[in-house]
Structure 1
Amino acid sequence: MYNVAIIQTPEESLRSHMANRRRWNIGVLLLLIIFAYVLVQFYWSTVRIRGLVTPLEAGDQDQTKRQIALISQELDNPFWRSVEQGALKAAGQYRMELQYMGPFRINAEEQMKLLEKAIASKMDGIILQGIGTEQDKALIEKANKLGIPVVTVDTDEPGSKRLAYVGTNNAYAGQEMGRLIAEDGPKEPSGVIGVLVGSKEAANQRLRLEGFQSVINTYKGLSIAEVRASNISRLQAAQQAELMLKEHPEIDYMVGFSSLDGIGMAEAVARVKPGGVTIFAFDDLEDTLTAINKKQIEASIVQQPSQMGYDAMSLLNQYFQGQTVSSKQYTPISVITDKEVPTP
C-alpha cells in the first residue's frame, strides 16, 4: 500500500485557515451573547429581590420601635393625610415608627404592590384600606401567617384574615344622607336626586349608596335619577354632575359620597342650574366648608379620618400587648351646616 499525501495549495490553505477563524469568532461571539444575557437577567433579578426585601424607607429607622406601614389609597389625598396625622400621634405615644406610603394617583394594583413590599420587609404591623379583591385577601392572609397583624381603615375587607376594621359605618352614613334629604322639605318629602360616588367598585361607596337607597325607597315622593362615578376627582365630579343635570333637568337634589364630589357638584350647578339644586356633600375639605358658608352646599356628612389613624395604631398596640381586640371599631360621623362653619 502507498500513503497518499494531500497537498493543499497556498490558496486552499489560506481559505481553510480563514474558515476556521470565522467559526472560532462566531463561537466566541455566541458565548459572549449568552454570558451578557445571563448577566442582565441576574442583575434584574437582584434589583427585584432588593426592591422587595430592602426596608421601605432605609435610613434612620429606630429598630427598637415596632415598624408600622400605613398604605393609603392616594398619597397626598387630604383625607389620607389626616389618617396619617392621627396615626403619627399614636405612634409617638406607643413608641412605634410609622411609614406612610401610597400611589400618587388612586391605583389598586400599586396599593397591593406596596402591601407585598410591606410583608416582604417584615413590618410589625400594617394599616391599609380594604381593596375588595381576592388578591388583597390572599396577601392579608399571607401577612397573618407570618404573624403580621393587618388593620383595615376607611374600607373593610370582610372575609379576610385582617385583625380589625376601624372607620365609618358606611351603610349608616348613607342612611344619614337619606334622612338629610327626607328632612329637607315638607312633611311628605319629594324630589328627584342625582348621585355621585367616588367609585362604583369601592366597597365603602357601595355601602353608602345602599344605605342611602334604603331610606329614599321608603318615600314615594323621592326618586333617584342616576348614579355616576367621579373617580374621586374634582374635575370629573364637575363633569359628571353637569352631564347629569343636562340629561335630567328635573333634578332637585344632588348628593356626593366622596370628598371631592360636593365641590364638583357645586361648580356644575353654578353653570347649569344656579340656585335650583340643593347639594349634600361628604367630608370637610376646606373648599367644601367655604361652599357651605356661601350656601352653595346645604350640608356635609363629616368623618373622622384622624381618629381612624389613631385608633388603628391603638388597636395594634393592644394586640402587641396581648389584649383582646374588637374586630370592628366604628368612628363617629357628624353633619355640618352653615351654622357650624365660621364666617371668614
Structure 2
Amino acid sequence: MTNRTKWNIVVLLLLIVFGYVLVQFYLSTQRIRGLVTPLEASHEERANRQIALISQELDNPFWRSVEQGALEAAANYRMELQYMGPFRIDADEQMKLLEKAIASKMDAIILQGIGTEEDRLLIEKADLLGIPVITVDTDEPGSKRIAYVGTNNALAGQEMGRLVAKGDQDRRGVIGVLVGSLDAANQRLRLEGFKSVINTYKGLRIADVRASNISRLQAAQQTEEMLREHPDITTLVGFSSLDGIGMAEAVARLKPGQVSIYAFDDLEDTLTAIGNKQIQSSIVQQPYQMGYQAMSLLNGYFAGKSAAPKQYTPISVLTEKEVLAR
C-alpha cells in the first residue's frame, strides 16, 4: 500500500468521525430544544394574556382595591393586567374603553355592568370574538358575560334596612337616602332591598332619595339640602363609598349629634367617623377579593373550567367596636 493510499484512508476516517460528531451534536441540540420550547411557549402564552380591567372611576379607592386584587392574581397566573377607567364617572367613557379593549383584541375583559342595551351588545360582540367578559361590582344580567363577581346588592340593601330598624328603637324615624347614582344598577338594587325592609315598619318613612355622583362634596351638599327641606329627618343612609363622609360633614354643620348615619364601605375617613361616633356603622364590601376572584375565574376559564354565573363576595358590618379593635 502506497503512502498516498494510506493518507486517503486516514482522511476518509477523519471525515467519517467528524460527520458522526456533527450528527450527534445536531440530534442533541434538537432534543434540548424539544424539551425547552414547550416550557417557553407555555410561559409565553400565559405571560402574553392581556386582561383589561375597566373601572367606573380611575382613582376611586374602591376600584383601586379591585385593581390590587386583580394585580396579585395576575402575577400568580402570569397574566398582564391593564387597568383603565374615566377620570370622573362617565358611562359613555366606560363604553369607549370597552370598545377599545375589544378592538385591541384583549384576551379577556373585567368591567362594571352599566345596565344599558349598548353595554350588552358590546359584551355580545366580545363574546363573538372569543373574548370572555366578567362583570364586577355591578352585574349585566341578560348579557353574554361568563360570570358576575361582587356583592349581592339586593341583600346588602336589606341588611342596611335591618341595621336602621334596629338602631331606631321607636321605629318612627324619618330617613334620608343618598345613592351614588340613580341610574347605576347596583345602587338601584341596594335601594330596592333597603325599601323592602323599611316598608315592613309602618312607623319608618323614607322622606327623600338623592344622588351624590360618588362625590364627597356633592354628598355633603345633597345632605344639607335634604336636612333643610326635611328637618324631621332622624336617619341618613348612604349607599356609595363617599356618601357617609359627606353626610357626616353636613350633619356636623347643621344638626350635630341629632342624626344617625349609616354608610357603605370602609374608607379611612369613614372608619375615623365611626370611631368618633359620627357614623353608626358601615356595610363593608370586599373589592380586593372581587378583583382576585375575577382573575381566578378567567384562569380557570382558559383551562377549560366552567364557573357559576354569579359569584357573590361577602359583606360585613363595621361598628365602633370593630373599628376600635383594629
Q: TM-score range by the shorter chain?
A: 0.7 to 0.9
Amino acid at match of 1:138: L
Equivalent residue, structure 2, for 1:231: 213
Amino acid at match of 2:137: D
SS in structure 2 at match of 1:156:
coil
SS in structure 2 at match of 1:341:
helix
Equivalent position to 1:120, from 90, 103, 121: 103
Question: Are residues 1:145 and 2:143 paired?
Answer: no
Question: Are residues 1:331 and 2:313 paired?
Answer: yes
Instruction: Give distance in 1, aligned partners of 2:299 and 2:45.
Output: 17
Asked if the contact 1:144–1:150 (Cα under 8 Å) also holds between the matched residues in 2, the reply is yes
Amino acid at match of 2:288: S
Deviation at 1:343, TM superposition (A): 7.4
Amino acid at match of 1:235: L
Amino acid at match of 1:169: N
Q: How many percent identity over aligned positions?
A: 78
Instruction: Give distance in 2, aligned partners of 1:190 and 1:181.
Output: 11
Per the normalisation by structure 1, the TM-score is: 0.81
Structure 1: which 5+ residue stretches go unaligned? 1-60
Equivalent position to 1:249, from 227, 231, 235: 231
Structure 2: which 5+ residue stretches go unaligned? 1-43
**Deviation digits for residues 183-206 of structure 1 (CA, Å, limit 9, x no counterpart):** 1132x5220000000000000000
Asked if the contact 1:293–1:343 (Cα under 8 Å) also holds between the matched residues in 2, the reply is no
Equivalent position to 2:187, from 205, 221, 230: 205
Runs of 4+ in 1 over 2 A off after TM superposition: 61-65
Equivalent position to 1:269, from 239, 251, 262: 251
Amino acid at match of 1:119: I
Amino acid at match of 1:152: T
Equivalent residue, structure 1, for 2:160: 177
Asked if the contact 1:75–1:105 (Cα under 8 Å) also holds between the matched residues in 2, the reply is yes
SS in structure 2 at match of 1:342:
helix
Question: Are residues 1:76 and 2:55 paired?
Answer: no
Deviation at 1:65, TM superposition (A): 2.8
SS in structure 1 at match of 2:57:
coil
Amino acid at match of 2:139: D
Number of corresponding residues: 283
SS in structure 2 at match of 1:340:
helix
Asked if the contact 1:62–1:97 (Cα under 8 Å) also holds between the matched residues in 2, the reply is no
Question: Are residues 1:285 and 2:267 paired?
Answer: yes
SS in structure 1 at match of 2:70:
helix
Asked if the contact 2:46–2:77 (Cα under 8 Å) also holds between the matched residues in 1, the reply is no
Question: Are residues 1:105 and 2:88 paired?
Answer: yes
Equivalent residue, structure 1, for 2:33: none
Per the normalisation by structure 2, the TM-score is: 0.85
SS in structure 1 at match of 2:114:
coil
Question: Are residues 1:310 and 2:292 paired?
Answer: yes
Equivalent residue, structure 2, for 1:24: none
Asked if the contact 2:179–2:239 (Cα under 8 Å) also holds between the matched residues in 1, the reply is yes
Equivalent position to 1:88, from 60, 68, 71: 71
Q: Over aligned residue pairs, what C-alpha RMSD do you find?
A: 1.4
Instruction: Give distance in 2, aligned partners of 1:237 and 1:73.
Output: 18
Equivalent residue, structure 2, for 1:240: 222
Instruction: Give distance in 2, aligned partners of 1:226 and 1:135.
Output: 31
Amino acid at match of 2:153: N
Amino acid at match of 1:196: L
Equivalent residue, structure 2, for 1:6: none
Q: As a proportion of its length, which structure holds more helix?
A: 2
Equivalent residue, structure 2, for 1:216: 198
Instruction: Give distance in 2, aligned partners of 1:75 and 1:63.
Output: 26
